[in-house]
Structure 1
Amino acid sequence: MSGPGEIGPEDTKIVTLARSARARTGAAEGAAVRDTDGRTYAAATVALPSLALTALQAAVAAAVSSGAPGLEAAAVVTGAGVVDEASLAAVRDLAPAAPVLRADSSGAVQQIHTPESLT
């Protein structure tokens, strides 16, 4: 996992979408992914009696159900100090090399998970 550093405008966009999803629903987390065609998908934590998904799992599910061929990047906005393993696994299932950005509620990127950082 690498430190925050500078991110480009496309990554800034998915962080903004993740923040918006979280704020709109009041959920614990918001997430967004960008597919290999440049389309974006945003989601918030799903906590129903019959279904529980992290925000990142929900965003990946939205991308997959829309026919996304792969992912370029993902972002999650959370108050947690880490991106949970289930969320990272959902991204890795579709895109083993995609970076996963973890941002705080202000949108400041705190960590960037890459495949190299997970070994």
Structure 2
Amino acid sequence: MAELGPEDAKIVTLARSARARTGAAEGAAVRDTDGRTYAATTVALPSLRLSALQAAVAAAVSSGAEGLEAAAVVTAADEVDAESLAAVRDLGADAPVLRADASGELRETV
């Protein structure tokens, strides 16, 4: 993760760890404007479906975050889905969204 600064590398690492710990399809982490981080994974229940990014944004909002500085998602997908990106944009219009693979290699910044 040489291309990333230490704070962005941290959220990629948190996203990787969350995904690995649960075996979920995706892991994500966000950093709020106060520097706090929130990690989550894909939620796939019969009554509730959230992408990892949506779940991380929900965790931040429910903890009182008013804005996001950055977000990261670890996924096998070729792009960040529109609904997940929209959830990040609701709190951080200019927040970079880092898409990394399972090894933590940065694939894209949206």
User: Shorter-chain TM-score: what band?
Assistant: over 0.9
**Aligned counterparts of 1:15 and 1:35: Cα–Cα separation in 2:** 14
Percent sequence identity over aligned pairs: 79
Where 2:99 maps in the other structure, the secondary structure is strand
Runs of 5+ consecutive residues of structure 2 not aligned to the other structure? none
Superimposed CA distance per residue, residues 79-104 of structure 1 (whole angstroms, 9 cap, x where no aligned partner) = 11111011100000111000000000
Give the length in aligned residue pairs: 110
Runs of 5+ consecutive residues of structure 1 not aligned to the other structure? 114-119
**Aligned counterparts of 1:50 and 1:5: Cα–Cα separation in 2:** 40
Name which of 78, 87, 102 aligns with 1:105: 102
**Aligned counterparts of 2:18 and 2:83: Cα–Cα separation in 1:** 19
TM-score normalised over the length of structure 1: 0.90
Residue number in structure 2 paired with 1:22: 19
TM-score normalised over the length of structure 2: 0.98
Q: Where in structure 1 do 4 or more consecutive aligned residues deviate above 3 Å? A: none
